[in-house]
Amino acid sequence: MAALAQAGHQVDLATRLRTRDGTGDVTRQARLAELGTRLAGRYLRLVAEGRRPRPDLWFTYHLYYKAPDLIGPLVASALGIPYVVAEASVAHKRAGGPWDQGHRATLTALARADLVIGLNPHDRVLVQPCLKDGAHYLDLPPFLEVEGPPPPERPDRPAELLAVGMMRAGDKLASYRVLGEALVRVPGDWRLTVVGDGPARAEVEAALAPVAGRVTWRGALDAAELEAAYRAADLLVWPAVNEAYGMALLEAQAAGLPVVAGDTGGVSAIVRDGETGLLVPVGAPDPFAEAVAGLVQDSARRRALGANAAAVTRTEHGLPAAAATLDAALRPLVERAR
């Protein structure tokens, strides 16, 4: 919304409905679909009565089988306006299963879309075939608001490592386990700060038990505290098991931190291997340990990668670049519709 506003567009938050069903409850999905239809009708009445502004375009962020868009396609079709989606994904294996309703609703939305904006390059291969003739797919690098002066150069000192991630079962816990297996193989003078919390905290602590004497646990931090943690560290370490792209990786680089991460999903769209950090085969402790050890021992290379990371992030992943890209994609849609 900030990027759209910066490009000169007026953004009206049309609804706060959350459609996510994390358990595959078919009854809940049916109720959400019914609610979406009612809310779409209510929104259209308010527009007709002049109580809500008539939109030139409908924009929905992040839809997939667990959280389909149950309002936007209905409103866009009723008003004859362009329908745009950002960060959509398709999982055909969900067809016929407990999330079949959400899967089909996502396909319906994509078939109505005039433009899909992808932040994870790997989503394109399954999303693009679901689009109608004439619809476009636009790759947009993940972005964030970068404020304040560029980060200062880190001092020449023993490496302060940082890991940032929620503590929950599944991929996050798998990443922490790879991290623990890797760090026990890293020699030298280093310490690790861990930012994050969650229901798998005990399992995460067990995963890092072999290096417990080097670990500082910070728990969950607010935005200002997290920014300070990035600036106090020398290297972000995150195995990124099944990561879509990892906003923490982008935030770290904006703060001048080089990154060692698993090469999966859209991570390579954020981390430039050998330029802003190092990418290694995902889920492999030995290559991860080797990459971390090399940067622990070479503070000059850490600082060079960190400086590149800050510069690239501000230039290519900042709000102005995203605003310009979005503006160039959206204005022609609106003009053609008019």
* DSSP symbol at 60: E
2-143+319-337 and 159-316 share one fold: yes
The proportion of the chain whose per-residue pLDDT surpasses 90, expressed as a percent, equals: 89
**pLDDT surpasses 90 at 91:** yes
The answer to whether the CB of 248 falls within 8 A of the CB of 277 is: no
Give yes or no for residue 111 having a pLDDT over 90: yes
Class at the top of the CATH hierarchy for domain 159-316:
alpha beta
Q: Is the pLDDT of residue 43 over 80?
A: yes
Asked if residues 71 and 105 have their Cβ atoms less than 8 Å apart, the reply is: no
pLDDT surpassing 90 at residue 58 = yes
Q: How much is the pLDDT for 310?
A: 94
CB of 334 closer than 8 Å to CB of 82 = yes
Higher per-residue confidence, 73 vs 246: 73
- Tell me what pLDDT residue 311 has: 92
120, 219, 243, 207: which is closest to 164 by C-alpha? 219
R_g of the chain computed on alpha carbons: 22
Which candidate, 195, 192, 193, 142, places its Cα nearest to that of 166? 195
Q: What pLDDT band is residue 323 in, cutting at 50, 70 and 90?
A: very high
Average pLDDT over residues 24-43: 97
Stretch 121-144: mean pLDDT: 94
Structure tokens at 304: 């060079």
Asked whether 96 and 47 are in contact (CB, 8 A), the reply is no
Supply the pLDDT for residue 266: 85
pLDDT at 283 over 90: yes
In the predicted structure, residue 121 carries a pLDDT above the cut 90: no
Alpha carbon 184 to its chain's center: 29
Cα–Cα distance for residue pair 270/258, rounded to 1 Å: 11
Q: What is the mean pLDDT of the chain?
A: 94
User: How far is 336 from 2, CA to CA, in rounded Å?
Assistant: 24
Residues 6+ away with beta carbon under 8 Å from 148: none
Cα–Cα distance, 276 to 252 (Å, whole number): 11
Domain parsing of the chain, residue ranges: 2-143+319-337, 159-316
Q: Phi/psi of residue 80, each to 5°?
A: 65, 40
Taking residues 25-50, what's their average pLDDT? 97
What is the structure's pLDDT at 147?
74
Q: Write down the pLDDT at residue 174.
A: 96
pLDDT in tens, 150-206: 787 888 888 999 999 999 999 999 999 999 999 999 999 999 999 999 999 999 999
83-88 sheet: strands from edge to edge: 58-63, 83-88, 115-118, 136-139
Mean local confidence (pLDDT), 301-318 = 93
What CATH architecture does domain 2-143+319-337 belong to? 3-Layer(aba) Sandwich (3.40)
289 pLDDT higher than 90? yes
